Amino acid sequence: MDPKISAIKSWLSSRSINIFGIQFAGKDSVGTPLAQELDGEFISSGDIVRAAAKNSTDQAIKKAAKITESGVLAPTEEFRRLIVPYLTDPKLAGKPLVLGSVGRWIGEEDIVMHALHASGHDLAAVIVLNISLSEVWRRWDNVRATRNGGRADDLTRERVERRLSEYQTKTLPVIAKYRQLGLTIDIDATGPVDETIAIVNDALFDYARSH
């Protein structure tokens, strides 16, 4: 194992890292391999909402899924009902967690931190992947050129614009709260995924040594 990854794993133990970023910043692309390297679990709030809605008979949950698929984040109460039980699932006990932008509305950070603490996965760091708006639209063009079908919010400009608006008005205040708590690590995610992953690993290693 890479010595840096070994040091990060030892520092993190069963705690968690939450990754934030604007649309197409690479949260899943960075978070999934990071979780694998740390022998942990990657958790995406969008995936949880969609999976729960598919398997649930609760009409409120199904409505939340439709809202999410239209490019708007799920309402906070549905978020609480879906996310909190997932984070406290015994199957995650003892594992480090890498969260993909879980808790994206202001106020939801408190729900997330409480659930993580209660389940033994206290939040250790928040990674913020930064790219420019021009890079967002460049990546959107690439997605349209390379995919036939796929997630609805990837395919229309209107849905992406709604996501960008939600990020500005709802998610940036969440990140600001984490910043006040001294948990954030800012990453330039403009380059290729492999380069961004390497930058994240180096930044986490440095953060771990000082925390």
Predicted local distance difference test score (pLDDT) of residue 152: 46
Query: Phi and psi for 22 in degrees, rounded to 5?
Result: -65, 165
Instruction: Retrieve residue 79's tokens.
Output: 């978020």
**Whole-number mean pLDDT of the chain?**
87
Round to whole Å and give the CA distance between 140 and 163. Answer: 12
What confidence tens digit (pLDDT) does each residue in 157-180 have? 888 998 899 899 999 999 999 999
What confidence tens digit (pLDDT) does each residue in 35-51 have? 999 999 999 877 677 76
Side-chain half-sphere of 43: how many Cα atoms within 13 Å? 28
C-alpha distances in angstroms, 75 versus 3, 55, 117, 177? Answer: 41, 19, 23, 19
pTM: 0.86
In the chain, which stretches have pLDDT less than 50? 152
Domain residues of the chain, as ranges? 3-210
Instruction: Retrieve residue 43's tokens.
Output: 């958790």
Q: Which class is domain 3-210?
A: alpha beta
